[in-house]
Structure 1
Amino acid sequence: MSPRSLMSRNGSRGLLAVVATAGLLAACGSGSSDSADGTSSATLQLGWIANVENAGPYTALDKGYYEAEGVDLTITPGGPSTTVEPLVASGKALVGLSSVDVVARAVAEGAPLKIIAATLQTNPTSIMSLADNPVNTLADLKGKKLCSQTSGQSVINAVLTANDIDPDDVTMVPADYDPAPLVAGDCDAFVSVLNNQPLTLKAQGVETKTFTLSDYGYNAWGNVLFTTDEALADDDTRKTLEGIVKGTAKGWSDAIADTDAAAQLMVDGPGKDQNLDLDQQKLAMASFVDLIQTDETETNGLLTMSADGIKGNVETMQQLDVPGDDLSSLFDTSILDAVYADGTDL
């Protein structure tokens, strides 16, 4: 899994100026093209490598779901140095995967982007502690040492403040994404991703206790699909977007239904050059189920963006001081509306 928490993905790397420049330039293209047989070619740019974090799109590609929708889709993996927003804003990719707050900050800098679907309905950013010395609640952090990535400390401070906890009551210990300092006793708790560091330690025989920041009002969707205003304004490109979103939803449905098969696909196929560990990938894939499939997706379909969900994301961004006079306008549900026009059974 990505060693970067979803709350800080791309967030403090000094590259928003690049996003803004890309957004203000006339787009080089829409990230898609049409062929003589009516099939449209398009690119989906991932934020991270080809592992189970992206099992939905790869499962859809493997099973021909995009092809069935008339889309010849190329999936481009990302990595530690990948910033997705400028690639979509400049037309090098039609759709990208990123986090809500990073897309919002790019829009505030001038990038013409819209979020059209949300993969992770529950944000997996969590507080992890050792099982034999647990930190059970946010309030339990008072007087404790918390290992946190520097780029994510503003989020931690915002969540603490929103829950009437003075951030000064928690000692922040700078750390990267390796949980070794927690095991070594350098801190009492560690800012982690629910489907990453806890699983890494479990594989090493270290039992942990975790709770998610979403339990305390941190409502930020993860791995959202986004595109450009220009793409949404074009009827032909909208059909391609519908095909990508529909195919991705079907891919995630299959991946959730058989998590071991999804993990096997990633290890043997797209992620083969990453030397992924199958057992770890199976654990990680299983942990995605409750993050992707919720009561709202049962009602509205996978990748849904409900009105209540949008409201929660806006409130969270406001707590994080994300600029924007109307943050709700960042979300466009029209593609999802079209995909699920005949019901949630795709």
Structure 2
Amino acid sequence: MTTRRDFLSVTAKLLGGGALVAVSGGALAACSSDDDASAAGSKGPSPVTFQLGWLANVENMGIYVADDGGYYTKEGLKTTVVPGGPSVSVGPLIASGKAFVGLDSVDTIARARKEGAPLKVVGATLQKNPSAVVSLAKNPIRTPQDLVGKRLGVQQSGTEIYNAFFKANGVDPKSVTYVPVQFDPAPLVNGEVDAFASFLTSQPIQLKRQGIETEAFLLADFGYGLWADAFVVSEQTLADKESRARLVNLMRASVKGWQDAVADPARGVKLAVEKYGKSLQLNADEQLLTAQSFVPLIATPETKTNGLLTMSKDGIEANIKTMAAVGITATADELFDTTILAEVFAGKPTV
């Protein structure tokens, strides 16, 4: 199954990717072992390493706001925020204790568990997966059914997803012509394909900045229920009383940061461009468009009722069903833990 890491490893260049940086708010720095955290105890702030799943762009703006705003510090944590990238595997860093918490896709964590990694998902940033089908506004494609008899530009690693997606929507995959493409949407612009497999937060924005109007539909709106930028921790963290308490504090601060970032994306953009992702030489205008496209994927009707990052029963079931369609089996109890955020929100939709 294609993960966001697979898809974004090339599209990072579209968003201004470059060399990673080690700058500090709580700090962006090299990974350090969280064994030190248990030794800190009540002597002072507990050091924890937060491993991001991707580069230091606006995808992580809520974490930057939490860090820069001192929310982690107020929760008794000295948080080191570490950027990720195409060569970073989050699961092993969590399982080995080199990071306290990290961000990854649910399917990646489910696969890691099948291989014996003692990992759990405790929250989900992107409630709607950004995977999308984009078409030109002058020839819009709005549903999976509209793709029958059409040419879909899709990366080789994505064919499994689209085969399952079409079947789930009553469309014979053979009725759609797959055209092999990379991540540059030029084939769409040039008329080589009728639609292009993309991320809502990537290629459509790139094309918009070139003056090319597009239309897109999310796979998530047609049954593709797979959370992204999910918070993952080790089972040991959940089992240990002190570690669990630190996790509750970290998640509370993260929720506060995301609440602020959703309310004011420009604040997150400023932090990404000028501080946390400074060495990436990010374009502020592009990052703002990207941040704005992320907001409705993070703040959904469910999170407005339950709180940002929360994982509803229906959402969990949708994730399990989506993974099962491509051969990844998991149960709610073994993969997800909803108790941390339940404690954070205490029955309220905000903190």
Which TM-score applies when normalising by structure 2? 0.89
- Does structure 1 conserve the Cα–Cα contact (< 8 Å) formed by 2:5 and 2:54? no
Choose from 305, 313, 316 the match for 2:322.
316
Question: 1:329 offset after TM fit, Å?
Answer: 2.3
Question: 1:33 offset after TM fit, Å?
Answer: 3.7
Distance 1:260 1:7, change over 3 A: farther
- Does structure 1 conserve the Cα–Cα contact (< 8 Å) formed by 2:153 and 2:195? yes
Question: 1:310 offset after TM fit, Å?
Answer: 0.8
Q: Find the counterpart in structure 2 of residue 344 from structure 1.
A: 349
Q: How does 1:131-142 map to 2 (within 5 A)?
A: 131-142=137-148
Distance 1:84 1:314, change over 3 A: same
Query: C-alpha separation between the residues in 2 aligned to 1:276 and 1:33?
Result: 37
Q: Deviations over 1:94-150 (max 9, x none)?
A: 111011111111111111100000001111110001111221211111111111122
Choose from 286, 290, 294 the match for 2:300.
294
- Does structure 1 conserve the Cα–Cα contact (< 8 Å) formed by 2:316 and 2:332? no
AA partner of residue 82 (structure 1): V
- Does structure 1 conserve the Cα–Cα contact (< 8 Å) formed by 2:34 and 2:48? no
Query: C-alpha separation between the residues in 1 aligned to 2:79 and 2:296?
Result: 27
Query: C-alpha separation between the residues in 1 aligned to 2:64 and 2:279?
Result: 15
Query: C-alpha separation between the residues in 2 aligned to 1:101 and 1:32?
Result: 29
Query: C-alpha separation between the residues in 1 aligned to 2:288 and 2:57?
Result: 11
Query: C-alpha separation between the residues in 2 aligned to 1:327 and 1:7?
Result: 21
Q: How many residues align?
A: 325
Q: Find the counterpart in structure 1 of residue 88 from structure 2.
A: 82
- Does structure 2 conserve the Cα–Cα contact (< 8 Å) formed by 1:31 and 1:91? no
AA partner of residue 283 (structure 1): L
- Does structure 1 conserve the Cα–Cα contact (< 8 Å) formed by 2:124 and 2:229? yes
Q: Find the counterpart in structure 2 of residue 334 from structure 1.
A: 339
Query: C-alpha separation between the residues in 1 aligned to 2:313 and 2:35?
Result: 28
Q: Find the counterpart in structure 1 of residue 4 from structure 2.
A: 9
Q: Find the counterpart in structure 1 of residue 28 from structure 2.
A: none
Question: 1:7 offset after TM fit, Å?
Answer: 5.5
Q: Find the counterpart in structure 1 of residue 274 from structure 2.
A: 268
Question: 1:9 offset after TM fit, Å?
Answer: 2.5
Q: Find the counterpart in structure 2 of residue 173 from structure 1.
A: 179
Question: 1:54 offset after TM fit, Å?
Answer: 0.3
Distance 1:245 1:225, change over 3 A: same
Query: C-alpha separation between the residues in 2 aligned to 1:30 and 1:330?
Result: 24
Question: 1:328 offset after TM fit, Å?
Answer: 4.5
AA partner of residue 314 (structure 2): D
5+ long unaligned stretches in structure 1: 1-5, 13-27
Query: C-alpha separation between the residues in 1 aligned to 2:182 and 2:245?
Result: 42
Matched, 1:304 2:299: no
Question: 1:190 offset after TM fit, Å?
Answer: 0.6
Bigger shift: residues 217-226 or 82-91: 82-91
AA partner of residue 246 (structure 1): R
Query: C-alpha separation between the residues in 2 aligned to 1:285 and 1:266?
Result: 10
Q: Find the counterpart in structure 2 of residue 99 from structure 1.
A: 105
Query: C-alpha separation between the residues in 2 aligned to 1:54 and 1:7?
Result: 21
What SS does structure 2 have at the residue aligned with 1:269?
helix
Question: 1:323 offset after TM fit, Å?
Answer: 3.1
- Does structure 2 conserve the Cα–Cα contact (< 8 Å) formed by 1:42 and 1:71? yes
Question: 1:84 offset after TM fit, Å?
Answer: 1.0
5+ long unaligned stretches in structure 2: 8-32
What SS does structure 1 have at the residue aligned with 2:4?
coil
Q: Find the counterpart in structure 1 of residue 27 from structure 2.
A: none
Q: Find the counterpart in structure 1 of residue 228 from structure 2.
A: 222
Matched, 1:258 2:264: yes
Query: C-alpha separation between the residues in 1 aligned to 2:104 and 2:199?
Result: 15
Query: C-alpha separation between the residues in 2 aligned to 1:343 and 1:259?
Result: 23
Query: C-alpha separation between the residues in 1 aligned to 2:281 and 2:69?
Result: 23
Matched, 1:281 2:287: yes
- Does structure 2 conserve the Cα–Cα contact (< 8 Å) formed by 1:194 and 1:212? yes
Choose from 44, 51, 54 the match for 2:50.
44
- Does structure 1 conserve the Cα–Cα contact (< 8 Å) formed by 2:45 and 2:76? yes
- Does structure 1 conserve the Cα–Cα contact (< 8 Å) formed by 2:247 and 2:340? yes
